[in-house]
């Protein structure tokens, strides 16, 4: 494989020295005009939560650290990364599952109703904080960037797991640095189980496989390279040359001739996957961001935007031993980032570092190796869970939904023309505790020529909530699974979506943003306030 050292061309190369340099001067933050000088505030917030609450009885108590580490990704030099590590202080040792050889953090497993205490210690050079993506937790536990802590400090999380069974995840959320820190390796799965899920009769244990999809670029010495295209690539979002599954560039899954549950997370900074089976068998989707759907649904392909999860059920009973079915990503039009002009400059035509794997190109995602003949398989359950009624008329604003426009203004990504300000909440971002609302997200898109800069997908995410999709409009694409509970919805250029979201409990300040992490870092993120 041909790998180039891009360090002399303005990119960020991940080694210890550069870690310090890049974070210290806020390379990315400087570009976005936003790096968090919020130490005073953070220290206060941290101090407030330092003391474990004696009235809180944790079922699971863990110590989680983010620290520099190195992992063997390719032959030769190990790769310098940042990595979450954890130990169980109280609770079942099975609550943490490490992924050997991976930079990914341990998979945290919990049951609905569990009380969780996590003491997070930041040992990376730079401010950080952990966000529990998809979990419904109090605002002070949500990992808002105003709660960042500097290196050497700790933040105490205590919350009850209120979510249904499902595949959630955790990652850093310091404003202006989220893309950089996630890219450096900081991410992990948070899997919730409940009784309903156990009763559903799905493949479990070794037949329940978590799969984190990410893309990365490496230099000739196996070190991570971030944003080699500089400012212009920052605008579109990082797209890597190499697909990694669970942190492994050469991942394959050995299976028996039976059914499996595959839990997919798109943990990439900005890459979108259009997933399909290479041999055209239909995808059987059983779950989305917020857990199992009511019943399975079949698709020829599905989109998976950054931050989104999808659960597949697949049966290899009819696959001969020795066969290698593959999950692939199909080609699609990803807008401005798709043909990769950004690495060569706007007018460049090719450029010095043409992307080898542009967003929207076709590539294999997961190679499966059918290894062993077994007789018994588990059939696909026809009923998976109770998802709940959707009653849009219960919304207080049913006839005048809130509208949020995701677009570009003055060469910056904005929501309703605004960019992120740490404590800023506009009038149209304040909701009442106890209410249910209809929100509409618009990807304005639709421009041509230089205005084509606006043609990018935006995966729109809400913190602290799972919502229901009511309908999509505009330039509607196929390949979405909108049936179940969602916390992130992918919007292609020109597309919009109506969602129903309840604010029954937990007042406070939460985020909503584009989950293209470079867009987010650039400020395509805002607060919303749940006011009591």
- Contacts with ligand C2O, residue ranges (CB under 6 A): 131, 133, 171, 173, 307, 461, 463, 511, 513, 515
If you compute the radius of gyration of the chain from its CA atoms, what whole number of angstroms results? 22
Residue 519 binds which entry of Cu ion, ligand C2O, none, CB below 5-8 Å type-dependent = Cu ion
Residue with tokens 């474990």: 52
How large is the greatest C-alpha to C-alpha distance in the chain, in angstroms?
A: 63
Minimum distance, C-beta of residue 133 to Cu ion, in the bound complex (Å): 4
Using alpha carbons, select from 122, 119, 155, 161 the residue that is nearest to residue 140: 155
Please say which residue, 116 or 265, places its beta carbon nearer to ligand C2O.
265
Residue 274 binds which entry of ligand C2O, Cu ion, none, CB below 5-8 Å type-dependent = none
DSSP strands (E only) in 112-246:
115-122, 130-133, 154-160, 166-172, 188-193, 208-216, 225-226, 242-245
String of contacts with Cu ion for each residue 461-480, x by CB under 5 A: --x-----------------
Please say which residue, 173 or 519, places its beta carbon nearer to ligand C2O.
173
Cβ contact 512:406 at 8 Å: no
Count of residues interacting with Cu ion (CB under 5 A): 6
- Alpha-carbon gap, residue 104 to 124, rounded angstroms: 15
Quick check: helix, strand or coil at residue 364? strand
Please say which residue, 32 or 256, places its beta carbon nearer to ligand C2O.
32
Identify the residue among 104, 415, 469, 514 touching Cu ion (CB under 5 A): 514
- Report residue 372 as tokens: 């062993």
Using alpha carbons, select from 182, 70, 193, 81 the residue that is nearest to residue 133: 182
Start-to-end CA span in the chain (Å):
57
Residue 516 binds which entry of ligand C2O, Cu ion, none, CB below 5-8 Å type-dependent = Cu ion
- Report residue 81 as tokens: 């990364």
The residue of the chain with the least Cβ separation from ligand C2O equals 133
Identify the residue among 458, 477, 486, 496 touching Cu ion (CB under 5 A): 458
Cβ contact 493:335 at 8 Å: yes
Cβ contact 356:322 at 8 Å: no
Q: Which of residues 244-283 bind Cu ion (CB under 5 A)?
A: none
Residue 307 binds which entry of ligand C2O, Cu ion, none, CB below 5-8 Å type-dependent = ligand C2O
Please say which residue, 13 or 171, places its beta carbon nearer to ligand C2O.
171
Cβ contact 397:438 at 8 Å: yes
Using alpha carbons, select from 404, 372, 413 the residue that is nearest to residue 489: 404
Residue 511 binds which entry of ligand C2O, Cu ion, none, CB below 5-8 Å type-dependent = ligand C2O
- Assess 513 for contact with Cu ion (CB under 5 A): no
Minimum distance, C-beta of residue 108 to ligand C2O, in the bound complex (Å): 15
Minimum distance, C-beta of residue 355 to Cu ion, in the bound complex (Å): 18
Q: Which of residues 116-135 bind Cu ion (CB under 5 A)?
A: 133
Residue 6 binds which entry of Cu ion, ligand C2O, none, CB below 5-8 Å type-dependent = none
- Alpha-carbon gap, residue 526 to 520, rounded angstroms: 9
DSSP strands (E only) in 357-457:
363-372, 402-409, 412-415, 430-432, 436-443
Minimum distance, C-beta of residue 32 to Cu ion, in the bound complex (Å): 13
Residue 299 binds which entry of Cu ion, ligand C2O, none, CB below 5-8 Å type-dependent = none
- Pick the stretch among 44-52, 217-225, 381-389, 457-465 that binds Cu ion (CB under 5 A): 457-465
Identify the residue among 144, 513, 519, 526 touching Cu ion (CB under 5 A): 519
Minimum distance, C-beta of residue 311 to ligand C2O, in the bound complex (Å): 18
Cβ contact 463:278 at 8 Å: no
Minimum distance, C-beta of residue 270 to Cu ion, in the bound complex (Å): 8
- Alpha-carbon gap, residue 189 to 266, rounded angstroms: 11
Cβ contact 212:170 at 8 Å: no
Quick check: helix, strand or coil at residue 140? helix
Please say which residue, 106 or 172, places its beta carbon nearer to Cu ion.
172
Minimum distance, C-beta of residue 442 to ligand C2O, in the bound complex (Å): 20
Residue 22 binds which entry of Cu ion, ligand C2O, none, CB below 5-8 Å type-dependent = none
Please say which residue, 122 or 455, places its beta carbon nearer to ligand C2O.
122
Residue 173 binds which entry of ligand C2O, Cu ion, none, CB below 5-8 Å type-dependent = ligand C2O
Residue with tokens 């043909």: 339
Using alpha carbons, select from 101, 19, 104 the residue that is nearest to residue 68: 19
Residue 513 binds which entry of Cu ion, ligand C2O, none, CB below 5-8 Å type-dependent = ligand C2O
Minimum distance, C-beta of residue 463 to ligand C2O, in the bound complex (Å): 6
Please say which residue, 307 or 508, places its beta carbon nearer to ligand C2O.
307
- Alpha-carbon gap, residue 225 to 355, rounded angstroms: 13
Minimum distance, C-beta of residue 17 to ligand C2O, in the bound complex (Å): 29
Cβ contact 491:443 at 8 Å: yes
- Alpha-carbon gap, residue 283 to 300, rounded angstroms: 6
Residue 171 binds which entry of Cu ion, ligand C2O, none, CB below 5-8 Å type-dependent = ligand C2O
Cβ contact 296:484 at 8 Å: no
Minimum distance, C-beta of residue 134 to ligand C2O, in the bound complex (Å): 8
Residue 258 binds which entry of ligand C2O, Cu ion, none, CB below 5-8 Å type-dependent = none
Minimum distance, C-beta of residue 306 to ligand C2O, in the bound complex (Å): 8
Please say which residue, 253 or 530, places its beta carbon nearer to Cu ion.
530
- Report residue 352 as tokens: 């010095």
**Contact positions vs Cu ion (CB under 5 A):** 133, 458, 463, 514, 516, 519
């Amino acid at each position: 494989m041909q790998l180039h050292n891009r360090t002399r061309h303005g990119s960020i190369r991940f080694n210890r020295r550069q870690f310090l340099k890049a974070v210290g001067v806020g390379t990315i933050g400087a570009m976005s005009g936003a790096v968090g000088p919020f130490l005073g505030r953070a220290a206060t917030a941290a101090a407030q939560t330092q003391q474990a609450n004696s009235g809180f009885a944790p079922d699971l108590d863990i110590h989680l650290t983010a620290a520099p580490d190195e992992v063997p990704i390719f032959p030769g030099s190990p790769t310098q990364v940042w990595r979450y590590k954890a130990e169980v202080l109280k609770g079942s040792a099975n609550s943490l599952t490490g992924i050997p050889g991976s930079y990914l953090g341990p998979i945290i497993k919990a049951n609905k109703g569990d009380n969780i205490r996590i003491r997070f210690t930041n040992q990376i050079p730079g401010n950080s904080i952990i966000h529990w993506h998809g979990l419904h937790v109090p605002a002070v536990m949500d990992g808002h960037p105003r709660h960042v802590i500097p290196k050497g400090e700790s933040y105490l999380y205590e919350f009850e797991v209120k979510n249904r069974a499902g595949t959630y995840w955790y990652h850093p959320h310091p404003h202006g640095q989220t893309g950089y820190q996630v890219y450096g390796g900081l991410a992990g799965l948070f899997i919730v189980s409940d009784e309903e899920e156990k009763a559903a009769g799905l493949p479990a244990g070794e037949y329940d496989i978590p799969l984190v999809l990410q893309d990365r670029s490496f230099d000739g010495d196996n070190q991570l390279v971030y944003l080699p295209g500089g400012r212009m690539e920052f605008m579109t979002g990082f797209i890597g040359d190499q697909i990694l599954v669970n942190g492994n560039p050469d991942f394959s899954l050995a299976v028996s001739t039976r059914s499996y549950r595959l839990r997919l997370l798109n943990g990439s900074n900005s890459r979108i996957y259009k997933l399909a089976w290479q041999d055209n068998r239909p995808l059987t989707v059983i779950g989305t961001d917020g857990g199992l759907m009511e019943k399975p649904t079949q698709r020829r392909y599905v989109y998976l935007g950054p931050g989104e999860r999808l659960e597949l059920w697949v049966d290899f009973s009819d696959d001969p031993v020795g066969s290698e079915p593959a999950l692939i990503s199909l080609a699609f039009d990803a807008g401005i980032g798709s043909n990769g002009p950004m690495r060569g400059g706007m007018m460049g035509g090719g450029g010095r570092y043409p992307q080898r794997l542009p967003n929207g190109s076709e590539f294999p995602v997961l190679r499966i190796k059918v290894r062993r003949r077994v007789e018994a398989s588990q059939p696909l359950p026809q009923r998976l869970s109770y998802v709940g009624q959707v009653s849009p008329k219960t919304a207080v604003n049913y006839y005048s939904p809130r509208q949020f426009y995701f677009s570009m203004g003055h060469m910056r990504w904005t929501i309703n023309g605004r960019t992120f300000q740490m404590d800023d909440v506009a009038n149209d971002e304040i909701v009442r505790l106890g209410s249910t609302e209809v929100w509409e997200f618009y990807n304005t898109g639709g421009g041509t020529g230089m205005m084509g800069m606006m043609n990018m997908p935006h995966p729109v995410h809400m913190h602290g909530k799972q919502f229901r999709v009511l309908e999509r409009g505009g330039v509607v694409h196929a390949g979405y699974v909108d049936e179940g509970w969602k916390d992130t919805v992918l919007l292609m250029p020109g597309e919009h979506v109506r969602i129903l979201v309840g604010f029954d409990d937990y007042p406070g300040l939460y985020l909503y943003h584009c989950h293209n992490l470079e867009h987010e870092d650039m400020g395509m993120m805002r607060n919303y306030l749940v006011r009591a």
